[in-house]
Amino acid sequence: MSRPRTVLVTGAAGLVGAEVCARLLRAGHQVLGLVHRTRELVANDGRAIPGSDDGRAGTVRLVSGDVTLPRLGLDDATWELLAGHVDLIVHTAATTDFGRPAEVYESININGTAHVLELARQRPARLVHVSTAYVCGERDGTILESELDTGQRFGNLYEESKFTAEQLVRKAAADGLPAVTVRPSVVVGATRTGVTRDFKNIYVVLKLLSQGRVGAIPGFFDATIDLVPVDHVAALITAAVVDFDRARDRTLHAVGAAVRMRHISDVLAEYPSFHVPRYLAPATFDPEDLPERERSYWNRVLSLYESYFRRRQYFDDSAAAELRTHRRLAAGEAHLRTIIDHAVRAGYLGAPPIRDVRR
């Protein structure tokens, strides 16, 4: 293991940030968590992560700040404290919501990264930057970790903002800043249990489809969405911290297993109370043909995810495989069942499944 470090985690109250804080504490590092309003860190399984204002042993020292502001919105004393003591920054703070105004993504995802880089340069401190695998945009095929700007078209402003943030990090690295970029795909519940603290993004899609709020969507049966358990993401980020010298200057895909749209239909069909969506050819789909109620759900929510229903993407993770301490998911369809089962048990989705026990 690397020597103990003083690590600042931005977005420490977030799903991934909190898990990273917990792992770094267990690894013996001194952890500072940059939070906006939250004063208590909660792990994905619902357990509290010890926090304090003084950084006593075994706790995350909580620092109130705002990545959207220069110098992270910190007073002079706190800024000097960080600039004088932080060895490494894990930058997880971001908005991952779709459909937000452009200025929100610019403020949090782009300017927030620039402000973190300001601190990293002043120290100087090593940086583990958390991006997204979907900076690849809508292009199909195998996506390499080394690739960034290939002239891709983006499916939404979130992807574009994370692409721009990665460009800032790459420029800083080219100027000599020690940096690693970790790109998670679609973050979902834990590997064994499917437990998630936050039902967001793909869960919203599953809810609307399983409830029949929208019965027909444009997409291809062989389109793929990569699902990665939150514990796998946190483990890879932690590995990049612990073995930073080997990870330096690399981009690491934190990915799980591809789930085809056909798998989504097949798995939803196993739940007696669930509706199963019909897939229509994207070229002929017109939301105006939907019934009025379905059209409302489509326009407000599902249209934000439309391009993911037709992408055929595979994320290579050769560099990540050299550092990670876990096995990549073997079957996305099996984990899809796991996360849906948990969502049912938690009351987010409908009745539990009835399956043939002979399987």
- Cα 284 from Cα 58, distance rounded (Å): 58
- Cα 298 from Cα 9, distance rounded (Å): 36
CA atoms within 13 A on the CB side of 246: 16
What kind and span of H or E run contains 339? Answer: helix 332-345
pLDDT at 1: 46
pLDDT at 357: 41
241, 5 in Cβ contact below 8 A?
A: yes
- Cα 53 from Cα 173, distance rounded (Å): 32
Per residue, the 3-state secondary structure of 101-161, as one string, reads CHHHHHHHHHHHHHHHHHHHHHCCCEEEEECCHHHHCCCCEEECCCCCCCCCCCCCHHHHH
Residue keyed to tokens 């097949």: 266
86, 118 in Cβ contact below 8 A?
A: no
pTM for the whole thing?
A: 0.94
- Cα 148 from Cα 145, distance rounded (Å): 8
Mean pLDDT over the full length of the chain: 93
pLDDT (tens digit per residue) in 179-228: 999 999 999 999 999 999 999 999 999 999 999 999 999 999 999 999 99
DSSP-based three-state secondary structure for 196:
coil
- Residues 6 or more apart whose CB falls under 8 angstroms from that of 303 comprise 287
| Residue 39: band (very low, low, confident or very high) from pLDDT cuts 50, 70, 90 | confident
pLDDT (tens digit per residue) in 243-277: 999 999 999 999 999 999 999 999 999 999 999 99
Beta pairing, strands 48-49 & 41-42: antiparallel
Burial 68-79 (b: 16+ CB within 10 A, else e): beebbbbeeebb
Measured distance between the N- and C-terminal CA atoms of the chain, rounded to whole angstroms? 42
pLDDT at 359: 39
- Cα 285 from Cα 200, distance rounded (Å): 26
The more confidently predicted of residues 356 and 347 is 347
